[in-house]
Copies of this chain bind each other. A is one copy, B any other.
Amino acid sequence: MDDKVNLAEKFASFDEAFAPKIVATYNDNKVQLAKTRGEFVWHSHADTDDFFLVVSGRLTIQLRDRDVELGPGELYIVPRGAEHRPKADPEAHVLLIEPLGTPNTGDSAEREAVPEEAI
Identical chains bound together, number? 2
Chain A contact surface mostly? strand
Task: Name, among A6, A25, A70, A73, the residue most crowded by chain B CB atoms within 10 Å (CB to CB).
Answer: A73
A48 at the interface (CB under 8 A from B): yes
Residues of chain B within 8 A (CB-CB) of A1 are 76-77, 79
Shortest Cβ distance from A27 into chain B, in angstroms? 5
Please tell me if A109 contacts chain B, counting CB pairs below 8 Å: no
A7 with B73: CB separation less than 8 A: yes
List A residues at the B interface (Cβ < 8 Å): 1, 3-8, 23-27, 31, 48-49, 51, 53, 55, 68-70, 73-77, 79-80, 95, 97, 99
